[in-house]
Structure 1
Amino acid sequence: MQTPWTDQAPIYQQLADRLAVKLLDGVPSEGEALPSVRALASEFLINPLTVTRALQTLAEHGLVEPRRGLGMYVRAGARERLRRQERERFLQRDWPALRAKLKRLGLGPQDLDWGTT
């Protein structure tokens, strides 16, 4: 079951974010093609133009590249570039709020499950 779209951001941005998570997970691998616009539109039940805009967003961030007549392909180094961007975003935006909440709740490292998955 897919996570529903929200009103927090445009759908194309939400799709770009979902595809970026897959890229972080290595799907598809660097050098491999992404699913076609039609396949993604069908999978996510959205307009192909919305999918195209999401793919353009990924291309603007240097994660994928269009190959004329072939589709979009994951660029070499995309996963590492994305990982660096996401780490920086986490440390700048998410971590300070999370750290403050942990402090308010009196939680320390010993209270957290750091299990490997």
Structure 2
Amino acid sequence: MFDDRSPIYQQIADKIKEDIISGVLLEDEQVMSTNQYAAFYRINPATAAKGFQLLTDEGILYKKRGIGMFVSGEARQSLLAQRRDVFFEEVVDKMLAEADKIGVPVGDIIKRIESVKGRDEA
């Protein structure tokens, strides 16, 4: 599951975020404890705890004392909003800049998107 592209604790946080976005983890659902997570993935519990702390700091997870960690009620919507912002900045804005550079009119881009979307829906 883990690779060398970023620290393991960051990959843990990213995996949990992806599980929330995709609906594997639901709002107010309990997540594995840091010890369970560490045992399952055979990593140091402190590393798992650091990943969970990132998510707690971002408001994605919250702790119920003596019970465990849970997905916050607004986690999915917050993550989707962040993902949309990144999509527009990293994909759409760059695509439009490239299109402008090579002389592709925005209307042609819209037609292409509608054509591909129509094919996918058929």
Structure 1 length normalisation: TM-score? 0.77
Name segments (4+ residues, structure 1) moved above 3 Å. Answer: 94-97, 106-116
Give the residue type in structure 2 aligned to 1:77: E
Matches within 5 A, 1:31-50: 31-50=28-47
Change (3 A) 1:111 1:15: same
Tell me how many residue pairs correspond in the alignment: 111
CA distance in 1, matches of 2:119, 2:13: 29
Q: Output one character per residue of 1:62-107: Cα deviation in whole Å (capped at 9) or x when no partner.
A: 111011111111111110111101111221124444x27x868x99
Aligned-pair CA distance for 1:10: 1.4
Match of 2:80 among 55, 76, 83: 83
The share of aligned pairs that are identical, in percent, is 28
CA distance in 1, matches of 2:40, 2:119: 34
Normalized per residue, which structure has more helix?
2
**Matched residue SS, 1:16:** helix
CA distance in 1, matches of 2:92, 2:26: 29
Change (3 A) 1:115 1:35: farther
Structure 2 length normalisation: TM-score? 0.74
**Structure 2: unaligned runs, 5 residues or longer:** none
Give the residue type in structure 2 aligned to 1:11: I
Change (3 A) 1:44 1:71: same
CA RMSD of aligned residues (A): 2.7
Q: Output one character per residue of 1:11-45: Cα deviation in whole Å (capped at 9) or x when no partner.
A: 11111011100011122211110011122112222
